[in-house]
Amino acid sequence: MNQREKDISLQNKRTPSPSAKVSLEDYASVVGRTEIDELRSLTAPLAGKSVRMVNSTAIGGGVAEILDSLIPLLGDLELQARWDVITGGEDFFKVTKSFHNALHGSEYSPRREHFDVFMEATEQNRKGREFHEDFVVIHDPQPVGMVLSRNGKGNHWIWRCHIDVSDPHPEVWSFLEQFVRRYDAALFSSPSFLRKLEIPQHLFCPTIDPLAEKNRELAPQQVRQILERFNIDPERPIITQVSRFDRLKDPVGVVRAFQQVKKSAPHCQLVLAGGSATDDPEAESVLREVEEAAAGDKDIHILNLSPSSHLEINAIQRGSTLIVQKSLKEGFGLTIAEALWKKKPVVASDVGGIPLQVIHQSTGLLVHSVEETAAQISYLLSHPEAARRLGERGHDHVKYNFLITNKIKNYIKLFLSLEENDRRHSSGKLAANLQRSTELTMDSANPESAMVPVRVRPRGTKSRMGRASSLGPNRPS
């Protein structure tokens, strides 16, 4: 590969091409015409403004999937939206994976060279990048240091944290916080993830795209054909977990639960459908652990799918009897929203952002152990009417809270509020300057007048430190 080809390859990695498959108008059939009209009206004051999203992978994982749908739809609202992906070597992604696990509370002994690797990759990614956009949204810890390129520009920087930082490793969080505090706002997926920060914090739930290939309606025959392609019997009960092969998703725990369920329901099958992301170097070793735990059981289907297997995931979810998400830690778990949208009953761990989606005994069942997981699976297999009701309520819950149109609305509201804060700040500075001019005139005539000070709250200070605006879900009645 010559240098020009290398440059083109790097540019392709840095700037992915989102799939402009549908327009905002297509969503009217899902969320209603009123919702679409409201979005256009709400966004009108921002027409022509520019937005830049930055993350660490173009394929694989929920963030990339969200941005793939979000960027074209923001463009449809007359915003100039672009998406960048940072690059890094194997050592960088090993370090950031360690950071990821440590932020979730895993044991970790960071060394000075780990932080050096992070900073070297950050500086390399900053080279050649200038951020002139009105709104810059940085996703997750990997690119958090890009805020060093801000350099006092008059735009708005937002850090979107998709992971569970309710109990982070103190040293890792302290290192990252030096960057986080440079942002104008931080967005988290659950109230329990909020940190003690001087900047405003907002609750921002992830969302799914109902018209994307992974979630659109499929014909029953197409679902059956895809299941049979993977040697999954569509006539027997199917228990499925869809997630990356990641220890925090506990796929081995799912296998253990299935082995217990099979004692009373020997006819059922387990599907573990997953893969990896380009920023996750641990997937292969976890996959081997899962295969060892399965011990050659022909009723356990371990599918190592490519990140582009959206149609296959859709069909597997639709063909499943129930969905499991037995995470040990979870920022949100979009595969749950995907399953609920398809009216599937869900058994999931009571961790992280999962309870925002799975309201126990209303939109799903929450569990705390392998044994509870097995018991709830067995219950749903033997009570299909209860399973159906959970799926129906789960679908409605997703419709009103976790569709991409809701995410767009929340981003637009945030952008508008940041601009309004700027206007208020500018007006406050003007008023303060005028008042100061008046005071100086008064002082020259009557020095005692200077004893009554004018107090103006500086920008960035706030009396509600640690509190967040609530953009969380509406609970079904």
pLDDT digits (tens, 9 = 90+) for 257-284: 999 999 999 999 999 999 766 656 778 8
Per residue in 431-466, pLDDT (tens digit) is 555 444 333 333 333 323 222 222 222 233 333 233
Question: For residue 470, what pLDDT is reported?
Answer: 42
The answer to whether the pTM exceeds 0.75 is yes
Rounded-to-integer distance, Cα 309 and Cα 382, Å: 31
Rounded-to-integer distance, Cα 18 and Cα 300, Å: 35
Q: At a CB cut-off of 8 Å and minimum separation 6, what does 156 contact? A: 134, 135, 136, 184, 185, 415, 418, 419
**Residue 333, SS3?**
coil
Question: For residue 474, what pLDDT is reported?
Answer: 55
Residue reference for tokens 């976790």: 402
Q: Give domain 10-203's CATH number out of 3.40.50.2000, 1.20.1270.10, 3.10.50.30, 1.10.3720.10.
A: 3.40.50.2000
Question: For residue 16, what pLDDT is reported?
Answer: 66
**Residue 82, SS3?**
strand
Neighbours of 1 (CB within 10 A): 8
> Partners of 468 in the beta sheet?
201
Residue 55 contacts residue 67 (beta carbons within 8 Å): yes
What value, to the nearest 5°, has the Cα angle with vertex 176 and ends 132 and 62?
70
Neighbours of 170 (CB within 10 A): 9
Rounded-to-integer distance, Cα 207 and Cα 215, Å: 12
Low-confidence ranges of the chain (pLDDT < 70): 1-21, 276-280, 428-477
Question: For residue 173, what pLDDT is reported?
Answer: 97
Rounded-to-integer distance, Cα 82 and Cα 354, Å: 30
Question: For residue 445, what pLDDT is reported?
Answer: 32
Q: Distance between terminal CA atoms of the chain?
A: 59
Neighbours of 270 (CB within 10 A): 25
Question: For residue 277, what pLDDT is reported?
Answer: 62
Rounded-to-integer distance, Cα 163 and Cα 103, Å: 8
